[in-house]
Amino acid sequence: MSKYHLDYLGQLESEAIHIMREVAGQFERPALLFSGGKDSITLVHLALKAFRPGKFPFPLVHIDTGHNFPEALHFRDELVNTIGEKLIVRKVADTIKEKNLTEQKGKFASRNSLQTYTLLDIIEEFKFDALIGGARRDEEKARAKERIFSVRDEFGQWDPKLQRPELWNIYNGKIHKGENVRAFPISNWTELDIWNYIKRENIELPSIYFAHEREVIEYEGQLVSVSEFIIPDESDVVSTKKVRYRTVGDMTCTAAVESNASNIDDIIREIIATKTSERGETRIDDKVSEAAMEDRKKTGYF
Amino acid sequence: MDILRFITAGSVDDGKSTLIGRLLFDSKSILIDQLAAIEKQSKNKSNGEIDLALLTDGLRAEREQGITIDVAYKYFSTPKRKFIIADAPGHIQYTRNMVTGASNSELAIILVDARNGVVEQTRRHYVIASLLNIPHIVVAINKMDLVGNSQDVYNNIVIDYQEVAKSLGLKDVKYIPISALNGDNIVEKSKHFPWYDGESLLHHLENVQLDSDVNLTDARFSVQYVIRPQSEDLHDYRGYAGKVISGIYKKGDKVVVLPSGIESSVKAIEIGGNEIEEAYALQSVVLHLEDDVDVSRGDMIVQQNNQPKIAQEFEAMLCWMDNKPLKPGNKYFLQINSRLVRCVVKELEYKLDVNTLQKNESPEKAVLNDIIKVTIKTASPVAFDPYKKLRQNGGAILIDETSCVTVGACMIQ
């Protein structure tokens, strides 16, 4: 093989950097949506490669549901501090109060659908015209059909049947006033690609991605952490298990997996051997219906 | 390990979704919860068997109507390669989707129903594969079980296709007999074709030579963004961020900025703020020039001794992708790599009948899914290479100025 051969992680990295620079080159007011999970941490790493020694041409934006893992919040603040970039935080709780929104009831009540309101508000407040997100096409069937530059109307809505053709590596970012583009630089990465890249680049992650002991209850076969948001009732059996998180979302709707993986190599081995998909194993909110993600996206969700 | 991006062309009737489902299933890329979900859906349908096709139908409307609307991307990998499948529907009304999927593919699997032989649709897929200059083609002759795994049937189809391939100038074409439903010749070589001495489909996908598809000769670098920290310690820093589309750049290379024609040389190359000695095709890097010259987004930096064409008027094969028709004199934006210019489509030379290859001269307009030869005039000069020579710098899109939608795909000649 020639010495001028870019291996597969190098190709994925270069594609992602190219997409981020297209966003920077085409839009007036972009932002990067940062959740504190491994995918958005990878995005930040890619942005460093794309724009250093310059500053990021966009702020990081965190939609804070108030149901975060404390480890993820702590990590977020440290990371922002280290890289010296701007972080904007808006709280779903404030939106709920301002707009008199009705919260889901029950033990696993999720603010997942309510965060769309906060997202649309922050887009309006800062007049963002492009939002970079860490969604991947392997996550879910509806995402498998979404463009890398995905145009949303004034209400943030995605219309899967009216998507622009996307050819070669040319990204059409032309939009009307009020519309915005969601840009997905790691569309073509799989969960395993992310982990292999994190290993290669030595990217730091919040501790909850690695095996640790935690008090959990079992809900429909999934392990949910006991916390201030999930308070066990009499029917629950609380047990202490060695777990890690495959995804980091809200404490109310993200499940842990039993694991002994204390380092990245162990995690990669477990992922190769796993028989359940990332969202299937760890997201309680996708199980509502077959088209749960498609429906959320159509109404403005990422 | 490297990446192979391929497109699957064919209709549901040819068993395309079943083939993809089979590749994912047999390479163990389908996980239990995904399988459980399609099992549940399969039960809602009449035949009861697991319908692997359901794996690729992502949207509710598609599942309800049993059709594929749009290009879906699927991923799987083996220890040798990562595969990205662009799954495009095959019917004529979806030519634009196939063109979209084909634009990023290094290989096309054209699926043929062994019972039908060469049909109009397959001919069309061949034509599109040739237009988009996909380097490698696999003709997968499917449903061999329904023709008694007959060598004669297979041979006759191959002979017919070889003729079409020759007339289109397709070079690397492989023919593989398969049964997607039964998994014959998909991952393992099947015992059902003792007369076939070639490889299984997956074996071919894993081993097809890709290195030669990357052009390391014609250095092209499209500037996406100018990095100017303007901080105290980096006051004079000015880096041009972009991707090496093709070729190699080294420190000291004599370069020229296009379209302005200003000459300079490469002072430094960086990735993420760290200096490197050289940059090569597909890498995203930052270039620094010796001289303080005017370079901005959309410009191209190339070697002085190997330059692309520069023109304000050129011919292109165009796939029309919009419901609004194209008429001579219509104005659009043209985007090639990161360069965006206004343009006018001056002349519609002919419309290509993708089924018969017949040229219909001077059409009044082009409608959705038409393939036409056009002359385009741009408001300012554009640096490009002929698509057939370097598709990364010969493909361009047309954007409607008022709707902002991508309406056409140009293969510049």
Give, in degrees to the nearest 5, the angle at Cα A126 between A124 and A129.
75
Tokens coding A132: 């970079």
CATH number, domain of B65, equals: 3.40.50.300
- Are B179 and B114 part of one and the same domain? yes
* Each residue's pLDDT tens digit, A151-207: 988 777 887 777 889 999 999 999 998 899 999 999 999 988 999 999 999 999 999
Give which of B217, B288, B300, B225 is closest to B256, Cα–Cα.
B300
Which stretches of B79-166 are assigned E, i.e. beta strand? 81-87, 107-113, 136-142
Nearest CA in chain A to B72: A145
Contact A19, A170 (CB under 8 A): no
Q: Are strands B239-246 and B220-227 parallel, antiparallel or unpaired?
A: antiparallel
- Are B289 and B328 part of one and the same domain? no
Place of tokens 């930052």: B286
Residues B292, B226: Cα–Cα separation, whole Å: 13
Place of tokens 């991307």: B73
pLDDT exceeds cutoff 90 at A220: no
- Are B137 and B255 part of one and the same domain? no
- Are B105 and B152 part of one and the same domain? yes
Domains belonging to chain A, first-starting first, are 8-192+291-298 (3.40.50.620), 207-287 (no CATH)
- Are B286 and B338 part of one and the same domain? no
* Residues from chain B contacting residue A193 (CB–CB below 8 Å): 82
Quote the percentage of chain A above a pLDDT of 70.
89
B253 phi and psi angles, rounded to 5 deg: -55, 135
Contact B350, B360 (CB under 8 A): yes
Q: Is B334 within 8 Å of chain A by CB? A: no
- Are B54 and B195 part of one and the same domain? yes
Residue B48 confidence class, pLDDT cut points 50, 70, 90: very low
Q: What total number of domains does chain B contain? A: 3
User: What is the pLDDT averaged over residues B165-173?
Assistant: 86
pLDDT exceeds cutoff 80 at B212: no
**Can you give the pLDDT at residue B132?**
92
Q: Cα–Cα distances in Å, from A231 out to A96, A235, A238, A247, A284?
A: 22, 11, 10, 21, 17
* Residues from chain A contacting residue B225 (CB–CB below 8 Å): 21, 24-25, 57
* Residues from chain A contacting residue B217 (CB–CB below 8 Å): none
* Each residue's pLDDT tens digit, A75-95: 999 999 999 999 999 988 788
Q: Cα–Cα distances in Å, from A50 out to A186, B159, B232?
A: 14, 50, 21
- Are B98 and B143 part of one and the same domain? yes
User: In which domain, by residue range, is B269 found?
Assistant: 220-303
Domain boundary among B178, B211, B244: B211
* Each residue's pLDDT tens digit, B316-330: 999 999 999 999 999
- Are B203 and B89 part of one and the same domain? yes
Nearest Cα of chain B lies from the Cα of A285 at a distance, in angstroms, of 14
* Residues from chain B contacting residue A159 (CB–CB below 8 Å): none
Nearest Cα of chain A lies from the Cα of B20 at a distance, in angstroms, of 14
pLDDT exceeds cutoff 90 at B307: yes
CATH number, domain of B239, equals: 2.40.30.10
Q: Cα–Cα distances in Å, from A199 out to A260, A268, B29?
A: 18, 9, 22
Domain boundary among B211, B237, B260: B211
Give which of B53, B60, B54 is closest to A292, Cα–Cα.
B60
- Are B343 and B373 part of one and the same domain? yes
Nearest CA in chain A to B233: A53
Interface predicted TM-score (ipTM) of this complex, two decimals? 0.92
Domain boundary among B188, B211, B234: B211
Q: In this complex, which of A7, A169, A190 lies closest to B1 when CB atoms are compared?
A: A7
pLDDT exceeds cutoff 70 at B254: yes
Residues A149, B36: Cα–Cα separation, whole Å: 31
- Are B177 and B48 part of one and the same domain? yes
User: What is the pLDDT averaged over residues B300-327?
Assistant: 96
- Are B246 and B332 part of one and the same domain? no
Give, in degrees to the nearest 5, the angle at Cα B126 between B121 and B128.
95
- Are B164 and B233 part of one and the same domain? no
* Each residue's pLDDT tens digit, B83-117: 999 987 766 667 888 888 899 999 999 988 999 87
Residues B137, B75: Cα–Cα separation, whole Å: 19
User: What is the pLDDT averaged over residues B70-93?
Assistant: 82
pLDDT exceeds cutoff 90 at B269: yes
Residue A277 confidence class, pLDDT cut points 50, 70, 90: low
